[in-house]
Structure 1
Amino acid sequence: MFTGIVEELGTVAEVTDQGDAIRLTVEANTVLEGTGLGDSISVNGCCLTVADLGEGRWTADLMQETLDKTSLRGVTAGDRVNLERAVTVDKRLGGHIVQGHVDGVGEIVSRSPSEHWDVVEVSLPAHLSRYLVDKGSITVDGVSLTVVEARETSFTVSLIPETLARTTLGSRRVGDLVNLEADVIAKHVEKLLGGYLPTPPTPAHPLQNDDKDNS
């Protein structure tokens, strides 16, 4: 479990192709403090398990499912990545509840810089639009953000100087892909309410209609 508050910008040191998986080695400092084998670290919003530790670096294995469903499939050596350790119960929840389970990949559609912040529009997979509301929460590349405007196929966020300086969102350009995670509370509410909502009638099979007409 994470909060979407990026602790550190790491640098991808190595990407080892293993056919249906990759081994990802990241250079870091802060997130290695108190971290052991088997611990979880969020990389651009994707929860990864520490498989190896070295001096100033750590390694994780990314299976095919992760490569298929996240933007990490395109990561290369030298790329900067957002890092966050799993939250502990004695820490303040500075962002919102983030699982590190990517729901979909969006694309930076536009950036509108101003003197003190940037307004960024991100495309949204159709199946996620129902979870977004104005002033609700969304995780973009592991960063907890507030939705400014929720649209049918995209949404906008305002990035303050702190976010621009301390996360990869400061350097993301139009066309770049980003990992998205919707608010898990919204998904649970939808599941719970599903049992109380009417079920749409099932259309009759064409052959069944023909049989009735001919009887």
Structure 2
Amino acid sequence: MFTGLIEEVGKLKGVSRAGEAMVLTIEASRVLGDVAIGDSISVNGVCLTVTSFTRGSFQADVMPQTFRHSNLKDLKPGSKVNLERAMAAGGRFGGHIVQGHIDGVGVIVSRTVDANAVVFAIRSEDEEAFAKYVIPKGSITIDGISLTVIRAESGSFAVSIIPHTLAQTALNDKQPGDTVNLEADILGKYVDHLLNYRSSASSTESAKRSRTGVTASFLADNGFM
């Protein structure tokens, strides 16, 4: 598990590809301070496993599932990446619960200055599946960064970035048209899954009522009242 607080910006040193399988070699320093084979490191929000390391870099495998559903496939030697080690049990929890399990890829629609902040508007490539998890003031992970949604509109959402976060992450180099990895808040995904599971397991009539939205009858039938 991660918190979405980026520890350092690494640089892709090399990439070896065989179809949809990849091996990434990433230059880093801070995240290697106590590294061991098998450790988890978030790379642009994707939880990867350290397979080997040196004093200044580490390697990690990218399997086809990750290749297809993240922007790691777009990386080239020299690309900057956000890095975070898995959360220590006794560490501070400054962000939100981040699994490093990407829900999909988004495209930056616009980047605008708002006083001392920069506002990024982002559109998910799978709007219908992802939009239901994006709510104003809710948490979202973008390229591994824990951020707060400032507005959610049809087809896109926006986040506001403070100068420190922008300067200390690879998001600083991102421009409209670039892709970012998206991970929705795990709490919303669990609630959605459980409600749909209860609906599918109930009677046909209850399932029909559940599709009309959250009503008093729906809440009563599902044990909330």
- Aligned equivalents of 2:177, 2:20: Cα separation in 1: 26
Segments of 4+ in structure 1 off by > 3 A?
A: 195-198
SS of the aligned residue for 2:183 comes to strand
Pick one of 155, 158, 168 that aligns with 1:156: 158
Q: In structure 2, what is the equivalent of residue 69 of structure 1?
A: 69
Once the two structures are TM-superposed, the CA of residue 195 in structure 1 deviates from its matched residue by: 4.5
Q: How does 1:1-215 map to 2 (within 5 A)?
A: 1-124=1-124, 125-126=126-127, 127-197=129-199, 198-200=206-208
Once the two structures are TM-superposed, the CA of residue 33 in structure 1 deviates from its matched residue by: 1.2
Q: Give the structure-2-normalised TM-score.
A: 0.86
SS of the aligned residue for 2:149 comes to strand
* Contact 2:136/2:151 (8 A) holds in 1: yes
| Paired residue total | 201
Structure 1: tracts of 5 or more residues without a match: 202-215
Once the two structures are TM-superposed, the CA of residue 173 in structure 1 deviates from its matched residue by: 0.3
- Aligned equivalents of 2:105, 2:98: Cα separation in 1: 16
Q: In structure 2, what is the equivalent of residue 205 of structure 1?
A: none
SS of the aligned residue for 1:68 comes to helix
Once the two structures are TM-superposed, the CA of residue 196 in structure 1 deviates from its matched residue by: 4.8
- Aligned equivalents of 1:9, 1:113: Cα separation in 2: 23
Q: Which amino acid aligns with 1:64?
A: P
Once the two structures are TM-superposed, the CA of residue 88 in structure 1 deviates from its matched residue by: 1.2
Once the two structures are TM-superposed, the CA of residue 44 in structure 1 deviates from its matched residue by: 0.3
Q: Which amino acid aligns with 2:3?
A: T
Between the aligned residues of both structures, percent identity stands at 47
Which of the two has higher C-alpha Rg? 1
Measured against aligned partners, the alpha-carbon deviations of 1:115-145 in whole angstroms (never above 9, x if no partner) come to 3111110002220111111000000000000
Q: Give the structure-1-normalised TM-score.
A: 0.90
- Aligned equivalents of 2:198, 2:23: Cα separation in 1: 45
- Aligned equivalents of 2:135, 2:96: Cα separation in 1: 15
Q: Which amino acid aligns with 1:94?
A: G
Measured against aligned partners, the alpha-carbon deviations of 1:51-91 in whole angstroms (never above 9, x if no partner) come to 11112100001111111110000100000000000001101
Once the two structures are TM-superposed, the CA of residue 18 in structure 1 deviates from its matched residue by: 2.3
Once the two structures are TM-superposed, the CA of residue 200 in structure 1 deviates from its matched residue by: 3.5
